[in-house]
Amino acid sequence: MKRAIGREGPVTALGAMSGTSLDGVDAAVVETDGLAIFGFGPVGYRAYSAEERSVLRAGLGRWAGPEVEAAGDLVTRAHAQALAGFEGVDLVGFHGQTLAHEPRGRGTLQVGDGAALAAALGRPVVWDFRSDDVQLGGEGAPLAPFFHFACAKWIGASEPLCFLNLGGVGNLTYVDPGFDRPEVPGALLAFDTGPANAPVNDLMQARLGLPMDEGGAVARGGTVETGALELFLAEPYFARMPPKSLDRNDFAEMIGLVSELSDSDAVATLTGMCAAAVAQGMEHCPRPPARVLVTGGGRHNPVLMEMLQVSLDCAVEPVESVGLDGDMLEAQAFAYLAVRVARGLPTSCPGTTGVGALVGGGIVSLPDEA
């Protein structure tokens, strides 16, 4: 059920994100009217345990069944715990956990019960952000670009720039801050660049029993296998014009390309694939950006950041260089988008998801409806 929550003035919104890296729940407060950012508030993080990550992994790629139900219950419970301590919040933006994403097939699936979360928190919850976009012919992803546009305005950018999110999957947003609104043609172009942290995390878990390549330490000791890199870049996805999006497991065969390499060479090669995919994607930008601002867990990997700097023809910097929080940007995005949904504003457009018209997807669940 969609209902507007106030029509004017700033709203205190709490956003939550559980990404494809399966590390935990990010939570962050944003003061916004759904157009401009007025300020950023408290943040929080609730990590998933190894057992909880196993439950989520068991649901990946599935559309129904006990594994999906278990993952959904876990996601709802974890978010209730992560968000309970925030005070003075008007509404919550709840992304849920993506288990499967086939915009040209079965659709998109984010598990987690927004109505149950609204009852647990005693606050309105905006959720199911992607389904309407997919049903109307869009990719359903990425959805952060409208927030990236607001961030570009907030930092006072005057030249075109890119936001690069390196989570489980990489996605790029080209922003031209010369436009007044994000939905104006030419203001935004967004798409998934390719796999990012997910293949590295999966390989690290399978071979070494570790959730990630902390600080790029394993990649630092290895060498990129150019043959595997060339095979990777020959994938038809990279020749497709954006907008376009990926499921976390769309490039699962990458693991096979490095299966005979040593641990360090395999991780270095997968890391190099992420950087090469971004470089390929940058060719789609309408104009060369002045800088690339990197958010998400990948910016903590110095080897990946060095590879990006070598591959791209502009400055590559973490978003902290402009006063933003790269660990919380996606959670902040869904706080911002929640206000847009509640006020009937679009959250995606042809330039961001390829949808045929402006879409303001999402459900608003009120506590008394549960």
99 is in an annotated binding site: no
- The response to whether 39 counts as a known ligand-binding position is no
Q: Is 20 annotated as a binding residue?
A: yes
Q: If you ran DSSP here, which 8-state letter would residue 241 be given?
A: P
Q: Range with the lowest mean pLDDT among 31-45, 92-106, 164-178, 242-256?
A: 242-256
pLDDT at position 281, please?
96
Q: Model pTM? A: 0.93
Residue 193 labelled as part of a binding site: no
CA dihedral for 298, 251, 64, 362, sign (positive or negative): positive
**Chain mean pLDDT for the chain:** 94
Contacts 24+ apart (CB under 8 A), 152-159: 152/177, 153/36, 153/37, 153/177, 154/36, 154/37, 155/322, 155/323, 155/324, 159/289, 159/290, 159/291
112 is in an annotated binding site: no
Q: What span, in angstroms and rounded, lies between the C-alpha atoms of 55 and 79?
A: 15
| CA-to-CA dists, residue 143 to 70, 268, 353, angstroms | 26, 29, 8
pLDDT in tens, 160-171: 999 999 988 999
Q: Which two tokens mark 52?
A: 């909880």
* pLDDT at residue 331 greater than cutoff 70: yes
3-state secondary structure of 251: coil
Burial readout 347-369 (b: 16 or more C-beta within 10 A, e: otherwise): bbbbbbbbbeeebbbbbbbbeee
What domains can you pick out in the chain, each with its CATH number?
Answer: 11-140+327-369 (3.30.420.40), 156-322 (3.30.420.40)
State pLDDT tens for residues 179-197: 999 999 999 999 999 999 9
pLDDT value of position 2: 39
pLDDT at 168: 87
Q: Burial of 221 by CB count in 10 Å (0-12 exposed, 13-18 middle, 19+ buried)?
A: middle
The full length of the chain comes to 370
24 marked among binding-site residues = yes
Give the confidence band of 250 by pLDDT, cuts at 50, 70, 90: confident
Residue 21 annotated as part of some ligand binding site: yes
25 annotated ligand-binding residue = yes
